[in-house]
Amino acid sequence: MQNKHLIDIYTQGERIGFGLRLERTFALTAAHLLHRKFGPDVAKDLPPLHLQDGTEVSLVFCNTPSDLARLRIELNGTRDPLQNVGFSRVRKGEAWRATASPVPDKPLSGKVVEPNAEYYRDEHRHVKAMRLRCEGQIDDHAAYAGSPIEPEPQKSPPVVLGMLVESRGSHRLENNEAFAVSMAEMFRLLGSEKQPSANRSRAGYIHPQWTRPGPNRNPRKGN
């Protein structure tokens, strides 16, 4: 499936992971991909990033509790519109698949075990994520981190359920489980001016308008 919301993130010609493009100039990826590759202080140590076609990408912020990193895509003059993001209410037992397939002939797919599992909580924050069961034997779930996930079979027009993030606890991989932050939770955590309504029956389409940081603010890392 051609998916304009899936991006491949590179540095110096090497692909380091995937991301979910939500606007023409903004995308998300899994924060732990950057931490694992470049160390804990990615705000200072991150080398230049780019898309496959060479388009430059910069880090806006990196938040550890939600495992979300927000990226700005530096446009090179193109003004092609990006299709609005489709979302749907995720249900227990729903079939899903990862949009990205880095391992040939081993697409990541499965069923939703728990749509709103507790992913992280402290006195300041509460993050929910979809707890997913993966079908088949996948050697490295981390290879798919940052990939959008979609319903299986895919809907028309295309729908994105969420984005794969880091598993919590080492036993998750043994149990063939994964986690994904849903579209609704992304909007809540990252402060979209427009959020999906809980009263929508099954599916809806939204063009999120993110609150943009000032041009002189430095990228920041969540605690």
Q: Does domain 86-190 have CATH number 3.90.550.10?
A: no
Are the C-beta atoms of residues 106 and 138 closer than 8 Å to each other?
yes
For residue 104, count other CB atoms closer than 10 A to its CB.
6
Domain 6-73 adopts which CATH fold?
Thrombin, subunit H (2.40.10)
Residue 150 has pLDDT above 80, yes or no: yes
Query: How big is the CA angle at 100 (ends 65 and 4), to the nearest 5 degrees?
Result: 95
Give the tens place of pLDDT for each residue, 48-87.
999 988 999 999 888 889 999 999 998 876 666 666 667 7
| pTM, rounded to two decimals | 0.82
Question: How is the chain split into domains, by residue range?
Answer: 6-73, 86-190
Helices (H), the chain: 31-38, 42-45, 171-174, 183-190
Contact predicate 38/46, CB 8 Å: yes
* Residue 163 pLDDT level (bands cut at 50, 70, 90): very high
More confident residue, 154 or 84: 154
Q: Which of 189, 161, 170 is nearest to 66 (CA)?
A: 189
Q: Which two structure tokens, joined as six digits, stand for 104?
A: 């040939």
- Does the structure show a pLDDT above 70 at 192? no
